[in-house]
Amino acid sequence: MEALKHLHFTPETPFGLPLYPIFEKAFEAVVGQPASEFRYVPGVTPLSTVNEVTITCITYFITIFGGRYLMTNMPAFKLKVPFMIHNILLTLVSGILLVLMVEQIFPILYRQGFLAAICAQTTWTQPLELLYYLNYLVKYWELIDTLFLVLKKKNLEFLHYYHHSLTMVLCFTQLNGRTSVSWVPIILNLTVHVLMYYYYFRTAADHSIHH
């Protein structure tokens, strides 16, 4: 209860304390440059060109369908521990990005309204641009989901690989187009992924405990 006394809820701090400065310190410690200096520049920033995205998609499809063919006469891999680690890390990363984005977009919604938040060019801010880019990078990481399905010889549903590849492409086009509405699908996607990856983690963990 003592900790709650130090929380100060405002439109700029919807969670009671400023979280982005904490993220900035962590970002600089890992990357070696201030978060405030990041700029997404098409053709300069890694994975910011059509060729890179196209090659990734082609490699993704060759890998999953080629892998499924190679696994035809091979036993399925268990991969319980790597699968659990993969899912809990994606749960945490998705959750962190989600709260950071909510913290950035809430004051815009509160002070300027929903229409401005999805339409005004001024709502494309530098902190949001960095968070959008990090979310875009996570889409590449999430492609590993399909690799787990292939190695574990699970059903490879069309909706699964269609969603994974197209979500990555969507994030790319939003970054290049600097679309102010980007936060809407991204926040929805992150919310679903926090729940989904935690569910996958718990399912794998419970299965490991029972066996």
Residue 7 in this model has a pLDDT that exceeds 90: no
Domain ranges within the chain, ordered by starting residue: 41-210
Give the per-residue pLDDT at 42. Answer: 97
**What local confidence, expressed as pLDDT, does residue 53 receive?**
98
Terminal alpha carbon distance of the chain: 40
177/159 Cα distance (integer angstroms): 26
What are 136-168's pLDDT values in tens digits? 999 999 999 999 999 999 988 988 999 999 999
Check pLDDT > 80 for residue 211: no
Residue 96 has pLDDT above 60, yes or no: yes
pLDDT digits (tens, 9 = 90+) for 154-210: 988 988 999 999 999 999 999 999 999 999 999 999 999 999 999 999 998 876 544
Rounded CA-CA distance 69/87 in Å is 25
Burial class (CB in 10 A: 0-12, 13-18, 19+), 46: exposed
One-letter amino acid for residue 68 of the chain: R
What pLDDT score was predicted for residue 206? 78
What pLDDT, on the 0 to 100 scale, is given for residue 63? 96
**Residue 75, pLDDT above cutoff 60:** yes
pTM: 0.93
pLDDT at 61 over 80: yes
As to burial, measured by CB atoms within 10 angstroms (0-12 exposed, 13-18 middle, 19+ buried), residue 41 is exposed
